Amino acid sequence: MSEHVNVKIISFVGLAGAGKTTATEYMTAKHIPKVSFGDIIRQSMERADIEPTEANERSFITHLLSQGHAQFIEQHTLPHFRKLIESGQHRIVTDGSSSLEEYRALMAAFPGSVTTVAIVAPKHLRYQRLEKRADHPLTRTEAIARDIAESEHEDKAAPIALADQYLVNDGAKESLYDKLDKLIVDLDFTH
């Protein structure tokens, strides 16, 4: 698909616990469809019969990056976007684009349609959130190791550094929701 008339994609990026999933869930509650990079990875792990643990996910991602992540993105990730667009969706939110390769692929596939929004929070707050979350909770030690692995081996810092906008998520969820409502207006992200 070479033409994306009036298509707008918000790609949330950030470190674990910053609030990407919370932001994505808020947007999907407004009936904006999502594509989750993390869900696609976990589905691929399931198809490969790999146990869904934090260590296995990190190892799987590292393997993808070493084997040519671009092919995986083209075959497994971009079709989700194209299917939504072909079905008439013109507003899409994505959660978890976490490498420079994913960033480049999204920008190349949908030029002029993607706004990258980095959600950032102090690490002590991120680590508290990660310990308390229901899905995939992490201890502080695991969270630190994940931050290092994602920065060193997965190039997660690049999309954050290249973000078009930044939202600081250092308060209550309602504060983040207010910032997201403003973002929706600023980007004319309504249907």
Reported as a pLDDT band with limits 50, 70 and 90, residue 173 is very high
User: What pTM was computed for the model?
Assistant: 0.87
Structural domain span for residue 26: 9-185
State the pLDDT at residue 4.
64
Answer whether residue 3 is part of any domain.
no
pLDDT for 1 equals 43
Domain assignment of residue 13, yes or no: yes
Count of residues for the chain? Answer: 191
In a domain, 2, yes or no: no
> Domain for residue 145, yes or no?
yes
If you average pLDDT over every residue of the chain, what do you get? Answer: 88
Name the nearest CA neighbour of 96 among 186, 156, 36.
36
The answer to whether residue 160 sits within a structural domain is yes
User: Does 35 score more than 50 pLDDT?
Assistant: yes
Q: How do residues 112-149 score in pLDDT, each as one tens digit?
A: 999 999 999 999 999 999 999 888 899 999 999 989 98
| 51 falls within a domain | yes
Asked whether residue 1 is assigned to any structural domain, the reply reads no
Helices (H), the chain: 20-29, 37-47, 54-66, 69-72, 78-86, 100-109, 123-132, 140-152, 157-161, 173-186
What CATH number is associated with residue 87? 3.40.50.300
Amino acid, single-letter form, for residue 99: S
Q: What contacts 66, CB < 8 A, 6 or more positions away?
A: none
Q: How many domains would you assign to the chain?
A: 1
